[in-house]
Structure 1
Amino acid sequence: MNYETYFQNNRERHLAELKEWLAIPSISALSEHKPDMIRAAEWLAEKLKAAGLEHVELHETEGHPIVTADYLHAPGKPTVLVYGHYDVQPVDPLNLWTTPPFEPDIRDGKLYARGATDDKGQLFLHIKAIEAIIKQEGSLPVNIKLCIEGEEEISSPSLPSFLEANKDKLATDAVLISDTSLLEPGKPAISTGLRGLCSLEVSVFTANTDLHSGTYGGGVPNALHAIVSLLASLHDEQGRVTVEGFYDGVPDISPLMKEEFAKLNFNEEQLRNSLGLETLYGEEGFSFVERTGARPTLELNGVWGGFQGEGTKTVIPKEAHAKITCRLVGDQDPADVLEKIKAHLHKHIQPGAKLTLKDGEKARAFNIDPSDRMLQLAADAYEEVYGTRALFTKDGGSIPIVETFSRVLQAPAVMMGFGLPDENLHAPNEHFNLENFDKGLLTIVSYLKKL
């Protein structure tokens, strides 16, 4: 079967359909778009039926619907569960869009619209690849299930309980996800790790009012001094986190993963120059890609307190605040890490200052061995279409639901992304390069056949 000819002959129809879906403003974070969320889910369900998939269902949740479907006519062959999401980010600031975010427009070989690359465009590839195989060959070479949610952009509150309640129905040999990117044009990548996350808000209080620095300076605790000293105690001069037990559960970087990192040929000097920095900085003994992909971090995201207006105000502030996030790897437990950080902060707070701490989000890291056969076949499929075998990477960001899928369904997660890092996901002028639209369809077909 010549799939290249098939997809070329159906390209205009496919893009017209995708534009229809992208025109629906399915913004999960804004309650005013609840009707649009339902409309986007119903549109998806109809297209799944039209593609030849069976048992298409819309499952109501406390939030937005989850859509499932399957095609189970390959006894003895592997089962693949495709995951994606039909919700999109808000579009602000609207004035920075060249064309309206929900009026899809093709310019210079790129499809511009909110959701074009994250994740409607990439998810759409799977629907059309499945449809193509059924239409061309009458059946699929593997068993397929789909589980598509509408809450990924708001941290998937409904999906974990749905997975637990339906893990027999969704049982699979692999979870296939296209919600990541190539390293650069023509250079595919498969992520074998996503860092976990935990966050904490820190508040320090001293006197019951701000005080005059002439009358009281040098004689009373200063909330800003206390928080600066406290936050400085969290790292040593080599960039390591000094919280006792912070690195419990952090694995060494395997020789295979070190090889994959080295293959990236990452140019640290180019990065340094592009950011206008005199030097990069981080945990001693690791490269930039190792620090950002395979090592945990503790970062200050905001620190504030005292007078910040124009001019001078000679005041000793009574309170100061900070926001902290940690990226986690390996078997680090986010709840345990937060408890250890809190113990460290209580231990190191200056005399005369009081501390209040508020937990934020918690998500475990996801990791998979790149030698897993499901990943190796995915790398082969990329090579067949792109002419370059995919490299195995670890991403510094967090997609908590990937770990949930892998853990609940006890199946490897295969992250085959077709976006590019510069496609403005979450920003104005989001777009999807149509070269990867075309190659993505062929790659997915190749992968399902190889499986």
Structure 2
Amino acid sequence: MNSIDQYFTTKREEHLEELKQFLSIPSISSLSEHKEDMKTAAAFLGDAMKKVGLENITINETGGHPAVTADWLHAEGKPTILVYGHYDVQPVDPLNLWDSEPFKPEIRDNILYARGSSDDKGQVFMHIKVIEALMQLKGELPVNVKFLIEGEEEIGSKNLPAFVEEHKDYLAADLVLISDTGLYAPGKPAVCYALRGLTGVQIDIRGAKGDLHSGLYGGGVQNPIHALADILTSFHNEHGTITVDGFYDNVVPLTDEERSAFRALNFDEEGIKEEIGVKELFGEKGYTYLEHTWARPTLEVNGVFGGFSGEGIKTVLPAEAGAKITCRLVPNQDPEEIVEKLRAHIAAHKPTGVEITVTDFDKGKPFITPMNHPLIQAAGRSYEKIYNTPTAYIRGGGSIPIVAAFDEILGTPVILMGFGLSSENFHAPNEHFHLENYDKGLRVISDYYYEVAAVDKDAL
């Protein structure tokens, strides 16, 4: 890999100037006034892909913002990698909290500041430059490669599942490679092999036809807030276990190997308490904090509304109350089934004197590629060669719905191989990307292509 290292060293400043051009495009997918900027960013990607030697570059219409595809498919008998990422970014408000303009990239102390630098333009750009380096040095790639870079990740990838379904034959691959996650900690690389899914409901409770005077009617009419409180407290027992019938039925237990890998991380529970400002942690009995947040399902009340909350007191018995609830789901839990179990639980615990409406939200399935999968282990080896430290094998507590869609529609292992840091302010003012990880990431990805090439295709 010495020639690769030399190539990236020689080309570093040139590449960073190109990345700055990419970051200068205000590709904010959520704001209609940036619709043309989205097209400009997609076109920039297409041009960049063509320059590095990718073929069949297409700016695809999706019903929303364009998706850019490209490929290089001349490594006969070798695996095919589908590289996924996104070129859209979050809005920049509040602008006054930025130390430099969000779309005028600046490098300070080897850190690149700009909206999209870490999430996800910087990491997408790295994959394109890896193709450039290998093509310039070898004239070919060790594996077959396809790219799918979308423009709607920050608004939920609403058009992408249909696009993937429609183009699943073209997008077929042996793995999907995504760099839109981060390291476990500075200097500590991580392969994320699982993500939780997501589902949720809103509970609306209706009592009387209007607010009532609590002196005239209190004690004789059901209070919707009291009814809501009864339902909410029925969801858990005192040990944090979810009491919805059948909620845990399909949960796949952690393996001994996984629990050992989590313990090996020596997670600092005292540190997380200090970071978030609590005196003690709380979670389902029998599990560690990492297991709670990575590998166990949850049911959380995200918001409660109803009654009078202004200054002073208003002696009212409210007519309505409600709550928003979301559940993080783990592998083998189905969002639709969980919603039905929630509905059944709410109906079974309905207090007298009120009517209840349950409305479900958008859903995303959980995802897992087994930790011992050869492509996961290959990613770990590539990280370790460059970072010179053991790779952490982690799960993610959050949800990326399109990852589960890749898993379901393409039936393809997904490898989450990111280079950001949780402290890099993605989605916030002063987003930045540590160029130490940009530099190492280029070399890790390059090595991973060769690691994948060495994996027996028949074993995938």
TM-score (normalizing by structure 2): 0.97
- 1:159-308 correspondence runs (5 A): 159-308=160-309
**Structure 1 counterpart of 2:27:** 26
Alignment of 1:450 onto 2:451? yes
**Structure 2 counterpart of 1:146:** 147
SS at match of 1:11: helix
**Structure 2 counterpart of 1:124:** 125
SS at match of 1:304: strand
- For 2:207, the aligned partner's letter is T
Describe the superposition over 1:64-97 as per-residue Cα deviations: whole angstroms up to 9, x where unpaired.
1111101111101111110000111111211111
- For 1:219, the aligned partner's letter is G
In structure 1, runs of 5+ residues without a counterpart are none
**Structure 1 counterpart of 2:458:** none
Describe the superposition over 1:272-313 as per-residue Cα deviations: whole angstroms up to 9, x where unpaired.
233222210010000000010000000011001111111111
CA distance in 2: counterparts of 1:446 and 1:265, whole angstroms: 28
- For 1:30, the aligned partner's letter is L
SS at match of 1:362: coil
**Structure 2 counterpart of 1:416:** 417
- 1:369-380 correspondence runs (5 A): 369-380=370-381
- 1:312-391 correspondence runs (5 A): 312-391=313-392
Once the two structures are TM-superposed, the CA of residue 164 in structure 1 deviates from its matched residue by 1.4
Higher alpha-carbon deviation: 150-159 or 438-447 = 150-159
Alignment of 1:93 onto 2:94? yes
Instruction: Report the RMSD for the aligned CA atoms in angstroms.
Output: 1.0
Describe the superposition over 1:309-333 as per-residue Cα deviations: whole angstroms up to 9, x where unpaired.
1111111111111110000001111
CA distance in 2: counterparts of 1:421 and 1:328, whole angstroms: 22
Higher alpha-carbon deviation: 206-215 or 123-132 = 206-215
SS at match of 2:420: coil
CA distance in 2: counterparts of 1:47 and 1:204, whole angstroms: 54
- For 2:78, the aligned partner's letter is K
CA distance in 1: counterparts of 2:110 and 2:202, whole angstroms: 44
**Structure 1 counterpart of 2:16:** 15
Once the two structures are TM-superposed, the CA of residue 118 in structure 1 deviates from its matched residue by 0.6
SS at match of 1:283: coil
- For 1:388, the aligned partner's letter is T
- Number of residues of Structure 1 aligned to a counterpart in Structure 2: 451
**Structure 1 counterpart of 2:107:** 106
**Structure 2 counterpart of 1:51:** 52
Once the two structures are TM-superposed, the CA of residue 211 in structure 1 deviates from its matched residue by 1.1
CA distance in 2: counterparts of 1:180 and 1:98, whole angstroms: 24
- For 1:106, the aligned partner's letter is I
**Structure 1 counterpart of 2:428:** 427
Once the two structures are TM-superposed, the CA of residue 168 in structure 1 deviates from its matched residue by 1.4
Describe the superposition over 1:321-379 as per-residue Cα deviations: whole angstroms up to 9, x where unpaired.
11100000011110110111011111112100111111101110001111111111110
CA distance in 1: counterparts of 2:94 and 2:204, whole angstroms: 31
- For 2:332, the aligned partner's letter is D
CA distance in 2: counterparts of 1:420 and 1:195, whole angstroms: 20
CA distance in 1: counterparts of 2:390 and 2:69, whole angstroms: 32
CA distance in 1: counterparts of 2:139 and 2:102, whole angstroms: 37
Once the two structures are TM-superposed, the CA of residue 266 in structure 1 deviates from its matched residue by 0.4
**Structure 1 counterpart of 2:73:** 72
CA distance in 2: counterparts of 1:199 and 1:355, whole angstroms: 16
CA distance in 2: counterparts of 1:212 and 1:100, whole angstroms: 54
Structure 1 residue ranges (4+ consecutive) displaced by more than 6 angstroms after TM superposition: none
Higher alpha-carbon deviation: 272-281 or 118-127 = 272-281
Once the two structures are TM-superposed, the CA of residue 5 in structure 1 deviates from its matched residue by 1.7
Once the two structures are TM-superposed, the CA of residue 406 in structure 1 deviates from its matched residue by 2.0
**Structure 2 counterpart of 1:404:** 405
- 1:36-47 correspondence runs (5 A): 36-47=37-48
CA distance in 2: counterparts of 1:435 and 1:278, whole angstroms: 35
Once the two structures are TM-superposed, the CA of residue 431 in structure 1 deviates from its matched residue by 0.6
CA distance in 2: counterparts of 1:274 and 1:46, whole angstroms: 43
CA distance in 1: counterparts of 2:387 and 2:312, whole angstroms: 59
In structure 2, runs of 5+ residues without a counterpart are 453-460
- For 1:59, the aligned partner's letter is N
Describe the superposition over 1:233-285 as per-residue Cα deviations: whole angstroms up to 9, x where unpaired.
11111101111111121011111111111111101122123322221001000
SS at match of 1:46: helix
CA distance in 2: counterparts of 1:171 and 1:140, whole angstroms: 18
SS at match of 1:303: strand
- For 2:293, the aligned partner's letter is T
TM-score (normalizing by structure 1): 0.98
CA distance in 2: counterparts of 1:159 and 1:88, whole angstroms: 16
